[in-house]
Amino acid sequence: MLYLYSPDQQELYGRLFREALPDLPIACWPQDVEASAVTHTAVWMPPAGFFSRFPNLQVIFALGAGVDKLLRRDDIPEQATIIRLTDAGMAQQMAEYCLYGVLHYQRQMDVYQRQQRASRWLPQATRLAGNIRVTILGLGQLGTHVGQTLATLGYQVNGWSRQPRQIEQIACTHGDAALRKLLPETDVLFCILPATQETRHLLNAERLGWLPADAAIINAGRGSLIDQSALLKHLDQGQLRFALLDVFAEEPLAEDHPLWTHPRVLITPHVAANTIPEEAVAQIAANLRALADGRPVTGRVDRLAGY
């Protein structure tokens, strides 16, 4: 049995799963079920202790790409496999979000916004896409799609990951040492890394200082990637032109947080790439069939790696 927990979209997901998997028993929270019959769950932010009631749980499907919160839980049995979404309509959204930030930088919209507030008419020099150096931190499926999309549009695209990668149209580097050379050669830094112990405050005060004085940051990965206090300091000092932020260390961002009113910051409420239910269900259904046939699945989570 598949047990679904997605309170905000329960009816929609329930219908989609029943249409995609007509031969599989499906129950939706808060429906009462025989707990021992539940072997699979599909969830979005379930409450504490949710999984401990299912003694025969085999697979947990996350209705999102990030699994850091799941991995911090203490109610997931060791034998359960966690499978995250790898796209589900998110890749194109993420590319659009990044492109918006890059165009904001390239066409100097942040400069024109400041000039508008000062009633100044002052055209800026033109910069072409081929002169903009974009660095992607994180070369999973989403980061790869973003990088290749930008490269197709003519931008210079570099990519960084912890392990070596070879990706068409992206100049790939890896390892902490590579950041020392890469960041000073970056105009727009796009972050799409997962939240792990290794990536926490990867962009600290020192590494933020390696970026050129005119650089911009777009963070659509996890809020823990950036030391927010250090980021504010660099923005205050004019070291960075602007930051487009979709994710934060604590969400929702506190109403009195200085990022809200900073003149060099654009904020969105974790909407860079939303899960599309139809796409998510199709991917989970395909993975369920693959598991049943003994074939490889996409999105299997390595608990030690954190993604």
* Residues with catalytic function: 222, 270
Under 8 Å CB-to-CB from 59, ≥6 apart: which residues?
Answer: 39, 40, 41, 80, 81, 82, 83, 288, 291
Backbone angles phi, psi at 218, to 5 degrees: -120, 120
Instruction: Report the C-alpha gap between 170 and 82 in whole angstroms.
Output: 30
Instruction: Tell me, rounded to whole angstroms, the distance of Cα 244 from its chain centroid.
Output: 14
Instruction: Report the C-alpha gap between 144 and 107 in whole angstroms.
Output: 24
Q: Which residue do the tokens 């002052």 mark?
A: 122
Is residue 42 within 8 A of residue 88, CB to CB? The reply is: no
